[in-house]
Structure 1
Amino acid sequence: MSSEINTGPVIGQRHLQTFLLFMAIVVNYMAKFNAGVAIVAMTNAESSNPNFPEYDWNEMERSYILSSFFWGYICTQFLGGWLNRRLGARITMFISTLGSSLLALLPPWCVSWGGWQAYCGIRVAMGLFQGLLFPCIHAHLANWCPVNERNRLGALANSGIDCGTLVAMFVSGLIASSSIGWPGIFYVSSGMGICWCIFWMLLGADTPRQSKLIGEAELNYIETSINSSRKENAEKLKATGRIPVPWKAIWTSIPFWALIFTRCCQTWGYSTLQTELPAYMNGVLQMDMKKNALFSALPYFASWIMAFVYLFFADILLTRGVMTITAIRKSINSLAFFVPAVALIGVSFLDSDQKTLSVVLMCTNVGINAGSTIGSTINTIDLSPNHAGIIMGIVNTAANTMPILTPLLVGVIVKDVSDRLQWQIVFIISAVVFVVGNIVYLVFGQMVNQPWDAPDFLTKQQDSHLQEEGYSKALEANQFLEDEKRKESEATNENTNL
């Protein structure tokens, strides 16, 4: 009879750390995506609070502002992982969030004299700081999550992505229409980030053993679970030494390239809505800022809820053996790509007389697309658990080039934000990208460990090469001996004839 495992309190320090990670994502995403709402208020004062300055920025200049965050964001993904290894997640995430939060204070002061260029510069710097965040979040989860709670706690922490976008859209719109106007968007966002930093430094800890608040039972439970799961990998590392990265094999892997392409396509469609939804609602659907804030936020509320629905059903299908992991990933990813593609095309044909249907379709689009996390985002672990961090860094860097390009494309196509036909082109392009991305994933994507994941892959490859080289030299030696024997035989025959 097995004894019951003492996991510590029902709500322990591992849950507190997960909540802190959740809030870290929320405050950073609010600073990241409040620009979509802020720009509408800053360029159309009548839609929010007319008592604050209004700027005459054209659509191309707006697009530069929305895109600029990602110019910096893609540059520091690998730096975040490096700093995490050197300084730990606690210090690196503090630096990341504090830097972004302090920069969020600057637009109301700098835009008046520096224009849209100053706003772009601030967002580039914010992107540089926030690029450090996600490598630390995944490392922190690995240190704190027992194996059997990893999916649950990981999903709870990452649900901050949808919640942060939801808060950015909804709260920012309400603030812009309030007495503090659009500058209040930046002040509130900055204040939330700074408050998080204070709580993080007081309550955060890189590992359970470094926490001063954790109980002995919970500490033993977490460490025993994590150490047992790492035992096999530790034995492999001991036998082979540090696992070298098989760069050539990774870069020539078709499933790896299929994953990159699919994630880029997903980010293209999703970022189009994230950055352009407030402008579309204000220009085409002619919603005022308060209604705009509510209806801009609804799709991300749907996404937040659907993330848990997908997780629930995926766990049931997998644990009961109804579907394989390959079938689950490809089925959910197809649902998450094909349905939003149809919804996007539907949205593009609606106008201000069909506001309700437009909102329903956009909620369907973003909500159903939440399945892409299970469908393809975590495919990195399927391909190579040993090199998942490296693959995640590459894929995330590639995918985050898309939010740079999509606002710029909108700036080229949409010259009049109230012109539905121009927005039609934008949404149809995104729909086509969704469809093509999933087709590539269905044909070339794989959900099994690749040969190059093996710790001794390069060693075996080198041994195989040496064997082939030795075999080639042996053949050459045998050929040489045969030639010599033939020459001797020919010389003997000639002497006999004489």
Structure 2
Amino acid sequence: MIKNRRLEDKGPAFGIRHVQVILLFLCLIVNYIGRQNASVSVVAMTNAKSTNPDFPEYNWNETHKSYILSSFYWGYSLTQCLATYICRHFGSKPSMLIATAGSALLSAITPMAIGLGGWQVYCGIRTLQGLFQGLLLPTLHDHLAKWSPIEERTRLGALSLTGLETGNLLGMAVPGLIAHSRWGWPGISYFSAGFSIFWCLLWIIFADSSPIVSRLISPEEKTYILTSQRKNDGKQVKIPIPWKAILTSIPFASLVSVRIASIWGMGTMQSQIPSYLHSIFLMNIGENTFYSTLPYVVMLIMTYVYLIFADVLLKKNIFSLTGVKKTINSFAMWIPAIALFGLGTVDRATSAIILMTISIGVSGGVSIGSGLNAIDLSANHAVVLMGILNTVTSIASMMAPLFVGVIVTDETDRSQWQIVFWTSALVYFFGNLQFIIFSSTETQPWNDEKYMLVSQDDKQPQIRKVNSVLELRTYDDSSMKNDTSLLKE
């Protein structure tokens, strides 16, 4: 069996599939730095005295800030399904290169553009960055599905997705340090652009869209991956998309719901931490950066704790894969929900930091609990599922900061922030509850390459003999009447 395969049959202990995981990890870091640094940049731009006063300061109110923070998702929501088309036709390598390079170039021109057009132009640039980065996660899941042996899928996928937590961490920490330096807040955009371009060069050299077309993979490792995925012929086949089956799938609907809940809660916390600490506890951006990044340090650590926990439970057969993922997802969403209920009521900065650290740090398990569920349901259609999933969930990403802008009309009013946090807690709770009831990690029937041939409601599978070979065919009622070559039972 595959699980008993000797090490030498898997190729080198550190193979090209591991290189792909490292590249995906770095890709998430560079793109999430570009995505998240706006929450720190906006504070620096509107309070220059707290950073480097040699650069312009803008008189933007909370509504302007909420538009800037949400505008990324205006574009992000539009290109998720487009990512499906691009990735299926051109492969994951050019798709991810386009996503990252486009976002990097926009980062490079951000300081100059803001000087010319203010917050409105900043919103426009963030929207365009969202358009490019909308290609990212669907393509990443397609890349993981093609490069991960089934036995290693959870581990390799989780390691790749820790780039999210690392990117969030660096996206909060590094901009604050740069804003204090002689480069000021414009240096934040320049750093993000340079880091992204460096990744693009690595991607061009070392990445390939699949093991089948890889120039660097060894024959042993290639055989191991394809055998695990039951693709022994080594051929790339474009499979028709079973739209009806996908859109009526209960496990997929459950995945969409839990991701909406997760994105709403995390989006609120990620975008509002700097403003909340500054408005309620009067922390300057130096303190703000330290305390804002602390939860992401805990999140990164907890992600690896969850990964080890999952490996132990699976190896000892304590839980099934479905049970492991539901358990981890419950820890990662219900503990933060409890912390969020308390966050809006505390009146001490220390208590707020502790609860904020818990609510964000513990949620790192979501990437393991539900983050890879699309590949579990259908590796063949992972890019399609993620295109649909991210299109829907990006609406939550867009609405969360706008919701804050509507509710928080007075930034110093703790009761208004309380509404924001309690709403996120309820979304977390009910989102995970339905995931426990309806989700699954079982590969769905519509993942099969032959599903569109044999699973139509108005057709029946039949067998006919062609040159002494049994061939699976589908016939509607009319074709069955006219075909006399059907084998009789």
Task: After superposition, give the CA deviation of every residue in 1:383-435 in whole Å (9 maximum; x if it has no partner).
Answer: 34443332222112211111100111111111222221111111111011111
Contact 2:145 2:375 in 1 (8 A): no
Pair 1:458–1:420, CA change in 2 (3 A) = same
Pair 1:10–1:231, CA change in 2 (3 A) = closer
How far is the alpha carbon of 1:179 from its aligned partner? 2.1
**Whole-Å separation in 1 of the counterparts to 2:442 and 2:127:** 38
Letter in structure 1 aligned against 2:402: L
Match of 1:122 among 97, 105, 125: 125
Corresponding residue of 1:184? 187
Q: Which structure 2 residues correspond to residues 62-461 of structure 1 after superposition, within 5 A?
A: 62-207=65-210, 214=216, 219-231=218-230, 243-351=239-347, 354-461=348-455
**Whole-Å separation in 1 of the counterparts to 2:32 and 2:376:** 27
How far is the alpha carbon of 1:442 from its aligned partner? 2.4
Pair 1:326–1:94, CA change in 2 (3 A) = closer
Contact 2:256 2:393 in 1 (8 A): yes
Higher mean displacement: 444-453 or 21-30: 444-453
Letter in structure 1 aligned against 2:368: I
Larger Rg, first or second structure (1 or 2): 1
Corresponding residue of 2:485? none
Q: Tell me, what secondary structure is at the counterpart of 1:105?
A: helix
How far is the alpha carbon of 1:283 from its aligned partner? 1.1
**Whole-Å separation in 2 of the counterparts to 1:348 and 1:462:** 52
**Whole-Å separation in 1 of the counterparts to 2:5 and 2:140:** 34
Letter in structure 1 aligned against 2:388: I
Match of 1:52 among 46, 51, 55: 55
Bigger proportion of residues as helix: 1
Q: Tell me, what secondary structure is at the counterpart of 1:41?
A: helix
Count of aligned pairs = 463
**Whole-Å separation in 2 of the counterparts to 1:9 and 1:75:** 41
Contact 1:147 1:225 in 2 (8 A): no
Pair 1:297–1:285, CA change in 2 (3 A) = same
Q: Tell me, what secondary structure is at the counterpart of 1:46?
A: helix
User: Unmatched 5+ residue regions in structure 2?
Assistant: 462-475, 478-489
Q: Tell me, what secondary structure is at the counterpart of 2:129?
A: helix
Task: After superposition, give the CA deviation of every residue in 1:91-138 in whole Å (9 maximum; x if it has no partner).
Answer: 332222121111112221122231111000001111111112223323
Corresponding residue of 1:488? none
How far is the alpha carbon of 1:361 from its aligned partner? 1.4
Letter in structure 1 aligned against 2:173: F
| 1:24 maps to 2:27 | yes
Pair 1:346–1:162, CA change in 2 (3 A) = same
Pair 1:78–1:3, CA change in 2 (3 A) = closer
Letter in structure 2 aligned against 1:39: V
Contact 1:285 1:355 in 2 (8 A): yes
Q: Tell me, what secondary structure is at the counterpart of 1:370?
A: helix
Higher mean displacement: 167-176 or 98-107: 98-107
How far is the alpha carbon of 1:452 from its aligned partner? 4.2
User: Unmatched 5+ residue regions in structure 1?
Assistant: 471-498
**Whole-Å separation in 1 of the counterparts to 2:457 and 2:259:** 36
Pair 1:94–1:325, CA change in 2 (3 A) = closer
Task: After superposition, give the CA deviation of every residue in 1:160-180 in whole Å (9 maximum; x if it has no partner).
Answer: 111011001001111112222
Pair 1:2–1:68, CA change in 2 (3 A) = closer
Task: After superposition, give the CA deviation of every residue in 1:422-454 in whole Å (9 maximum; x if it has no partner).
Answer: 111111110111111112222333343445445
**Whole-Å separation in 1 of the counterparts to 2:442 and 2:5:** 33
**Whole-Å separation in 2 of the counterparts to 1:250 and 1:204:** 30
Corresponding residue of 1:475? none
Pair 1:96–1:449, CA change in 2 (3 A) = closer
Letter in structure 2 aligned against 1:79: L
**Whole-Å separation in 2 of the counterparts to 1:2 and 1:430:** 46
Corresponding residue of 1:490? none
Contact 1:255 1:445 in 2 (8 A): yes
Higher mean displacement: 270-279 or 107-116: 107-116
Task: After superposition, give the CA deviation of every residue in 1:257-292 in whole Å (9 maximum; x if it has no partner).
Answer: 222111101110010011111111111122111111
Letter in structure 2 aligned against 1:113: L
How far is the alpha carbon of 1:2 from its aligned partner? 8.4
CA RMSD of aligned residues (A): 2.9
Higher mean displacement: 9-18 or 306-315: 9-18
Identity of aligned residues (%): 45
Corresponding residue of 2:464? none
Q: Tell me, what secondary structure is at the counterpart of 1:124?
A: helix
**Whole-Å separation in 1 of the counterparts to 2:209 and 2:231:** 23
Q: Tell me, what secondary structure is at the counterpart of 1:57?
A: coil
Normalised TM-score (structure 1): 0.85
Pair 1:192–1:457, CA change in 2 (3 A) = closer
Letter in structure 1 aligned against 2:188: I
Q: Tell me, what secondary structure is at the counterpart of 1:231?
A: coil
Q: Tell me, what secondary structure is at the counterpart of 1:179?
A: coil
